[in-house]
Amino acid sequence: MSETKPFNRLPQDYLTPIPNGGRVVRFEYDTNTYDEAATPLQKFCYVYLPQGYTEEKHYNILYAVHGGEGNIEAYLGNCETASPIRIALDHMIANCDIEPLIVVSATYYNQTSLAGNVGGAADIIYHFHNELAGDLMPSVESAFSTYAEDVTPAGLEKSRRHRAFTGFSMGSLATWVTFLNNLDAFAYFLPMSGDLWVNGARDRGTPGNAEAAADLLDANAAKYGYANDDFFIYAVTGDEDIAYQPMKGLIQAIRDRTHNFAFAEDAAESGNIRWRVEPGAYHSYEFVPLYFYNGLMEFFKK
């Protein structure tokens, strides 16, 4: 049995495609913040636009990055083929579980995938925040209608309550790292099946990493000076997931050692972090629609 309150169950028909769902477009952008050498690089992401998308309306936006064995199609599929996660999003919007939103599926990789190279992928993830803030967000939010009045750092900070970040596995590491580096641009975080490694892959699973990571997260919240209700983390995994014990350790360290996090067991309670565990769930994207269904329904409320 899970030691947390159960998830709301994903309706079975939410994995069945519906007519006239949202569409996915390929969006190309230039970056020169990928590495310290400022090497120019053209990259692309997939952008989900909800049914009825119009430039006349402002939309919340969610950025999602894949895991170490995943790729840029992990969340949305591609322009032609819809993934289960994208189909579930269509249902959630159509049934008014969530407001229509834009979803950006991006990659922290360069030209070459580092799938299977945990240390190499982690090193890239720790630099991805530069590309995220310097190139990806300004490019995307200049092209699509979000709540950002402009894409300057000040404009992105002003609209941060309408912006979220998520990732599965190594993408969850990226989510914690985004909290550390881009809290001024994001208010909502959905880390799925992955903890924070303070010193990259070298500290993965080592004694003391959870405590050091908790201290780092706490200090970061204090550094930005945001109040208790200025950000929200919905942390999830399964009790048969390889990430369960490391993530559980991080959550326990946050409970024990930090001052800027307040746990809430459900939406009726105030707090800025929630921890959910799905019984029987293992390390697989097949559980991400369930995690999205529960997490996104609590985002963009403040």
Q: Rounded distance, CA 76 to CA 50, Å?
A: 12
Nearest to 124, CA basis, from 195, 85, 182, 66:
66
Nearest to 233, CA basis, from 184, 182, 192, 289:
192
**b/e 150-175 (16+ beta carbons within 10 angstroms → b):** ebeeeebbbbbbbbbbbbbbbbbbbb
Between residues 111 and 102, the one the model is more confident about: 102
Query: Token pair of 267, please?
Result: 């939406």
**Is the predicted pLDDT of residue 4 greater than 50, yes or no?**
yes
- Residue 121 pLDDT: 74
Whether this model's pTM surpasses 0.85:
yes
* Residues 267/298, Cβ–Cβ less than 8 Å: yes
Backbone phi and psi for residue 166, each to the nearest 5 degrees, phi listed first = -145, 160
**Is the predicted pLDDT of residue 204 greater than 70, yes or no?**
no
- Residue 126 pLDDT: 87
- Residue 1 pLDDT: 40
Q: Rounded distance, CA 299 to CA 189, Å?
A: 9
- Residue 118 pLDDT: 66
**Is the predicted pLDDT of residue 115 greater than 70, yes or no?**
no
